[in-house]
A and B are shown apart, each in its own frame.
Chain A
């Protein structure tokens, strides 16, 4: 085997690929080969490092130097300076936005310091397209141990004692789910990995699948062995081409090495995995809808019970788990449940991955122990709000969740604390908003999403969400009344009570939560007809600055609806009730007296 003196790790996650990291990767290949270093220096395409904002990321091992925002030209400098002459390229190191301090090693960056990686432990470390790299870091050892040395009850016991709860949103204890499915007798059972990741603005599951697909395959095989299934399905959205490709490669490699297929590792355990593509429907993330879709049907949810553990795919007992839930399993088996349950809070064990996005400095993927506070994530890891603006709110739980405000920033993040402040853990989307974000507009955004994604089966959800969206549009257009606010609230409770699945039951949450914490902002919209952030165009107001107006009448002449009044050489005024916001007066004024809304 060749021993390389240096490894160049180039991020091949979707975020960095979008900022052209593959060009950088190819450039390195070319440069290293033409410099004759290809026997000494290896170039590896890895999964996501998490620090997407600063991409493309390049890391040099074993020197442990972390370069950010590397382009093709920079690759040349890195090869000439760092690889050939051993001199670090200072210009490409990470600079802390506030202190302007230059940081060379990633462990010292505030972004990584407070993180603790279990599910993401191999992302950015190994080449996801090479099974031997996974095996080199202890991969498939847990599977080997489980199928040769442990019986099914022992495994259930370990997972139960670890305290692992589902990471797909519900937080149901994984050990108990496995136990129930195991105990339901049947000639055929299935295990399904839910990789539908519907929350828009969340990309945890995709990064795990892109960066460490074997971890999930191994966990599914362990789960299959435990519950007595010989068939696994990965239901993944068609919008994730890179993850699908990497999974495909991983499954083929695992089959070649006999880690999937018949008589795995010489035992009588048979297990194989198939990929099923979704086709763009948020509701298919719900497990019963997912099962219908996996059967090739319309993805409408079913009434529960029967739960999938009783009657799932093709009517057989089926265990559905989320990608991140699976990603924790091999580590628990290898390190023991005591290790896992020592991390986190009393009722929420282990870590959680969050996709940190929005108006924050360090957008990216972060994995933190349960119990970390929002303040730590936003200010220490996330580096604070972009452009040093004022923090306003953070949304967790996506379209099913709610907002968290300044006063709750010190809440420890775990399943129960989040529910108690009116939001939810959700699958891990964390969207940060600053003082330029209008909360009514945000609520409207989420309702636009849910009314579009409602499968239409339950009337309150199908029609109710549409009506809520219309009312919110009315408010942001400046035509709302106090009555509308009451109706919104009433509709919310009706939809929650009258819907079959989690989509409808949680769809009104963003509205209820913003109405609770930002009541004033709603009132400003309906009573004073102003949008404090200036985001809502319908409420935008053109005004004339009396200090600057000389009374030239230019504006009044061009106004198409004749809503500007004033005598020659006197200050003019716009009649807000008739103004259509065309902006003609703004263009016409030569004295900068017309103030354009933001």
Chain B
């Protein structure tokens, strides 16, 4: 018999600062109504904490007086919400159709190889996280990758090491 996989909500990687909870609580208290506002609150929480570990989900559940499972149900449904902290720089590889037709899968493979991680994973040094995104609206520049907010268009496999090094260098410099 196959057993259902145990679902566990990841806990926070370290101590979460109290001020952040205060900030979130203030945001919730200032809403006109919490009716239908769960997704909005989660967006805010992710903006404050960077991700949504179990502690944050439970905090929201208690605050809204709804079951924690309901919060987890919503968090796990939407790909925008993450329960893992991400690296210093997020590299989003466009996997939209226009980019695919112009060879984004090769860029994706090469990037994973270069960093030694898969999608939604973070490098050991905490510098990079790879994310797949669907069409960022710059199809004219396909294939496209985005590092944080900066868009790189018409990317080739050969460009990748240089792009990565720019960000590595930045970290060393700072």
Q: Which residues of A contact B (CB under 8 A)?
A: 14-15, 17-19, 52-55, 198-203, 206-207, 238-240, 276-282, 293-299, 314, 355, 357-359, 363-364, 395, 398, 429, 431-433, 437, 442, 445-446, 449, 455
Contacts and interface: CB of A to CB of B under 8 A. Distances in A.
Interface stretch (B8-16, B21-29, B131-139, B163-171): B131-139
Contacts of A433: 101
How many B residues touch the partner, as a band? 35 or more
A595 to B, nearest CB: 20
A206 B101 contact: no
Interface of B: 35-40, 42-43, 73-74, 77-81, 95-102, 133-142, 144, 151, 153
A167 B141 CA distance: 26
A355 B139 contact: yes
A277 B39 contact: yes
A281 B97 contact: no
Contacts of A449: 134
B100 A445 contact: yes
B64 to A, nearest CB: 9
Most buried by B among A239, A276, A395, A432: A239
A432 B81 CA distance: 33
B98 A14 contact: no
A583 B4 CA distance: 42
Nearest to B73: A298
A277 B43 contact: yes
A239 to B, nearest CB: 7
A26 to B, nearest CB: 16
B97 A238 contact: no
A398 B134 CA distance: 12
A203 B139 contact: yes
Nearest to B140: A52
A455 B77 contact: yes
Contact of A294 (B36, B95, B97, B141): B36
B43 A14 contact: no
A280 B142 contact: no
Most buried by A among B36, B95, B102, B135: B135
A431 B97 contact: yes
B43 A239 contact: no
B138 A14 contact: yes
Given A280-B79, A294-B36, A357 B137 contact: no
A358 B153 contact: no
B45 to A, nearest CB: 12
A398 B97 contact: yes
A52 B142 CA distance: 11
A358 B144 CA distance: 12
Contacts of B77: 281, 298-299, 455
